Homo-oligomer: A and B are copies of this chain.
Amino acid sequence: MTERYLRSVRLLAQCMQGFERHSNEHVRRFDLTPPQFDIIATLGNTEGMSCKELGDKTLITKGTLTGVLNRLEEKKLLERIRSNDDRRSIFVRLTAAGQQLFETVFPQVIAEGKLLFADYDEQQFAELEQQLTRLKQRIDAKGAA
């Protein structure tokens, strides 16, 4: 029960929770839920993509995705366009308003995080990333199995 690695995992979880707490505060200020922001952030700076692709990237299942997209469409933040290539498929992209919101919210969430790293130099970034990359490789390898 007192596994050596637990301390690492606890730290990782605490970092992540702290991050999410901060970022969700920003997100909610713009009347977005975390999943809605996830969609906006995924569509931001792209020409758009199919529901399928969007679901794969955000890990939101298709039934849920329809609901989240509906709410964002009602807010005029995105639009759905039926594809001509494959008429089963629907192309989703941000409207001008959605793009503008993305450009407003995203940098704020980013700026929030930026402060946390204010005193990091290049070497410290490199060290942190080396550790996290190693860990991520283990996780990805496991997920594939």
Contacts of A5 in B (CB 8 A): 113-114, 116-117, 120, 125
The answer to whether A115 and B132 have CB atoms under 8 Å apart is: no
Copies in the complex: 2
State whether A132 touches B11 (Cβ < 8 A).
yes
Give every chain B residue within 8 A of A12 (Cβ-Cβ).
12, 15-16, 19, 132
Is B135's CB under 8 angstroms from A116's CB? yes
A140 within 8 A of B: yes
Task: State whether the Cβ of A76 lies closer than 8 Å to any Cβ in chain B.
Answer: no
- Bound-state CA distance A108–B113 (Å) is 33
Q: Is A136 in the interface zone, CB < 8 Å from B?
A: yes
For the complex, count residues of A whose C-beta is within 8 A of B: 46
Cβ proximity bits A2-13 to B, threshold 8 Å, 1 near / 0 not: 011111110111
Q: Which residues of A (90-145) have their CB < 8 Å from a CB of B? A: 106-107, 110, 113-117, 120, 122, 124-125, 127-129, 131-136, 138-140, 142-143
Smallest CB separation, A28 vs chain B (Å): 14
Closest chain B residue to A112 by CB distance?
A: B142
Contact of A139 among B15, B106, B129 (CB under 8 A): B15
Q: A residues touching B (Cβ–Cβ < 8 Å)?
A: 1, 3-9, 11-19, 21-22, 59, 106-107, 110, 113-117, 120, 122, 124-125, 127-129, 131-136, 138-140, 142-143
